[in-house]
Chain A
Amino acid sequence: MADHPKRAFPAITQANHHFWCGGKDGSLHILRCGDCGHWIHPYAARCPACRSAEIAPQPVSGRATVVGFTVNHQQWQPDFEVPYVVAIVELEEQSDIRLMTNMPRTPIEDVKVGMPVKVCFEQHGEIFCPLFEAA
């Protein structure tokens, strides 16, 4: 297994399993309304666009755009290798489906606001942590 930082993951539940564990099949999974097609993240029990209860995870393209990022230099945890990038990406499917992420496979100096990126995964047991890299 690749060398990667210890991450503080949430408890895996029925509500978040698709996001944290869904990458096993190579795709990022996001909840989607079966009636109007609206993407929903984080979890909600009714579609905010049409109030439908028909909500289920679906794979997305994994393509996204960096809308903001920070290069962190502070050693918050002994095993975090600094500096590292924390970025906010907007999924191609819907602009308010925005994820915080890391980009360990992209050189720090290459990270720019507006750059296209694609999803990749880092396995921690049953969890496939979604990360992004230059597209």
Chain B
Amino acid sequence: MIHYAEKNTAISGIGQSQIERKPTMLPFELAVRACEQAIADAGLRPEDIDGAACWPPVPAGAVTGIGAAGIADISNSLNLKLNWWSGADSAAQLSPIMEAVAAIAAGYATHVLCWRALGERSAPSYTTSGGGGWVPTGGMEWMVPYQAPSASIWIACHASTHMTRYGITREQLGAIAINQRRNAGLNPKAIYRDPITMDDYLTARMVTTPFSLLDCDVPCNGTTAVIVSRLDAARDLRNPPIVLEAMGARSHNKMGSWLGRTDYPHQAMHDAAAAMWTRTDLTTKHVDSAHIYDGFSWLVLSWLEALGFCAEGESGAFVEGGSRIALEGELPMNTNGGQLSEGRMHGLGHLYEAMLQLRGLAGERQLKKELNVSLVANGGGDVAGALLLRRDG
């Protein structure tokens, strides 16, 4: 097989702050704590970190929730000596990981600190900030003027096309939220932990059809951080490395457009999934746990089809009843409760949970079977990245 650079890298350390619905401190402080934790977990010191990547690279002082710590903020707080850094967008929420792989392959860095810092609960909401002042650019230009300031609306349109075409029901969609809430009950860090029934699901307040509140993730403050290391260097550290088996991101169809693809309602995730599978001999059958982006519940259905866990149009039947995706099921999914219940840690939360499961550190929700391979899939609309992790050796 051709040499793919990600197979020569591993995740050597992980860290995550508390996940806050009600802020108790600056989101920036949470970010620094998560980074310190990841470095210590790897058995490294800040002076060993020679690369850094985060996405989006929003500075700590910005009045927006989508980022809470830029590269310079973290570098200066930890007194890092960086030889390389990136705030680029290449694989959606997994961009820092993909960037780190490239930097390590190029010889620019050995240990890259990656993070995703959220401060949504400390920023003005759409309503209080008066979105009338928003002058949309790029892909937003074609959506925001239509009373559509939220991704819930954009993705709901995709969901409508897909669910209508294949006769997928809200009961099928509901299995995702209900199963994840059950998992969150076993996760002390999750924001929402009380179980929900199908009746709760079907009667929840509608946000934008077919999404009710229970189909939408929960904005929060918090940061996840990981260290991506060159594999030989990772093997000398304190944890068994978790190898990046394959990583994919592609944009082959109307880049930047949420609705212009020739194969709408397919999204960038269909390109990313295909790209990932070209870089490994593993298949869906080898995946022991799946950690799939759930900013909105329906994105999970779309990813399941994009990744080939089921055929086009069959994802509703795949998740129906929830047993297949439960902790005891054949494809345990979003075992931490996902963004729908744990909180919107925006992608790297999925990666963190995959790492906990592969290391056997997921506490009460630890899967009972032996795990070798976990999948992390992130993104929706015009951005996406997919990653397969496996135990070393």
Contact = CB atoms under 8 A, between A and B. Distances in A.
Interface of A: 5-11, 16, 41-42, 67-78, 80, 84, 86-88, 95-102, 113, 129
Contacts of B150: 74, 76
A88 B259 contact: yes
Nearest to A71: B209
B138 to A, nearest CB: 9
Main secondary structure of the interface of A (DSSP, over half): loop
Interface in B177-228: 205-211
A129 B142 CA distance: 11
Contacts of B149: 8, 76-77
A47 to B, nearest CB: 14
A42 B141 contact: yes
Contacts of B147: 5, 7, 72, 76-77, 80, 84, 86, 102
Contacts of B159: 68, 70
A113 B166 CA distance: 12
Interface string B131-154: 111111101111111111110111
Interface of B: 126-127, 130-137, 139-150, 152-154, 156-162, 164, 205-211, 254, 257, 259-262, 264-265
8 contacts: A9-B136, A42-B141, A67-B264, A70-B157, A77-B130, A77-B131, A86-B148, A96-B261
Contact of A96 (B134, B156, B158, B264): B264
A67 B161 contact: yes
Contacts of B209: 70-73
B267 to A, nearest CB: 13
A87 B259 CA distance: 11
B164 A68 contact: yes
A76 B126 contact: yes
A9 B260 contact: no
Given A8-B135, A76-B149, A88-B259, A42 B127 contact: no
Contacts of A78: 127
A88 B161 contact: yes
Contact of A70 (B134, B139, B208, B260): B208
A22 B149 CA distance: 24
Contacts of A101: 146
Given A72-B207, A73-B205, A76-B126, 6 more contacts: A10-B141, A11-B135, A77-B127, A98-B259, A113-B160, A129-B145
A80 B150 CA distance: 13
Contacts of B257: 42
A70 B141 contact: no
Contacts of B130: 77
Contacts of A74: 150, 152, 207-208
A71 B212 CA distance: 11
Nearest to B133: A8
